[in-house]
Structure 1
Amino acid sequence: MRLAVLATIIAVMTTAATAAERLPSFPKGTSYQEARQSLIGLGYEPVTLPGADKCYAGDERCQGRPEMSSCSGTGLAYCNFTWRSRRDMLIEITTIGEGINKVHAIRCRANCN
């Protein structure tokens, strides 16, 4: 009897772990443009946050990217971009660099499993 209960618990835990959504990952040095195309292909949608920074004319890091929530005008030129998955997980991609910005970090911001 105990063996059957244990097998059921393991099966439920395995199913729950499989159902958990994982953060996307990209190789070091991936351009945000490449990552953006991958996210779209995976079914993620860009999210425009209320109170997001304005993308200034000529700033190639955020032009045509409504998912930009903030971009630094100094230092290492960090930008943050927000995306929502099919399962409603909200993620933030941080990039670094001017011109061709590269993915620096990815983190879950809401509905993380």
Structure 2
Amino acid sequence: MDLPQARERLLARGWKADPPKREPGSAEYLQGIIDAGYPEVEDCSGTGQGFCSFMYRNAAGDRLNLVTAGEYVSASQGGESAWPGGRHAGVTCAGARGSATDAE
């Protein structure tokens, strides 16, 4: 499932984007994804499969981390947009030390 579909499902289930606090200029290499409407992107690997991490939070304070693989390609770069696909999601419950995972 690509990132827009995964995000739509998360938002429909009550999760909200949880953008990290960033120092000015620290996320220049993430700017394309942020500008595309995904400020919750936390970080991306610079090599390999292009893994990226996106953070969400629910009303109870639980955090969900969605990991994607693949590159984001903007339509402004010529052609159609291409989105990374979801690979793994993990939830850390508020106040809990452990985590549960959901690979939906």
TM-score range, shorter chain: 0.5 to 0.7
Q: 5+ residue gaps in structure 2?
A: 73-82
Question: Quick check: which has more Rg, 1 or 2?
Answer: 1
1:1-113 matched pairs, under 5 angstroms: 30-51=1-22, 54-56=27-29, 59-60=32-33, 63-99=36-72, 100-111=83-94
What's the offset of the Cα at 1:76?
0.4
What's the offset of the Cα at 1:110?
4.3
Q: Identity across aligned pairs (percent)?
A: 23
Which structure is richer in relative contact order (CA contacts within 8 A, separation 6 or more)? 1
What's the offset of the Cα at 1:81?
0.3
Q: 5+ residue gaps in structure 1?
A: 1-29
Give the TM-score, by structure 1 length: 0.62
Count of residue pairs the alignment pairs up: 84
Residues 62/101 of structure 1: CA separation in 2 closer, same or farther (3 Å cut): farther
Q: Which moved more, 1:47-56 or 1:101-110?
A: 47-56
What's the offset of the Cα at 1:73?
1.9
Structure holding more strand per residue:
2
CA distance in 1, matches of 2:29, 2:64: 23
Does the 8 Å contact 1:69/1:80 carry over to 2? yes
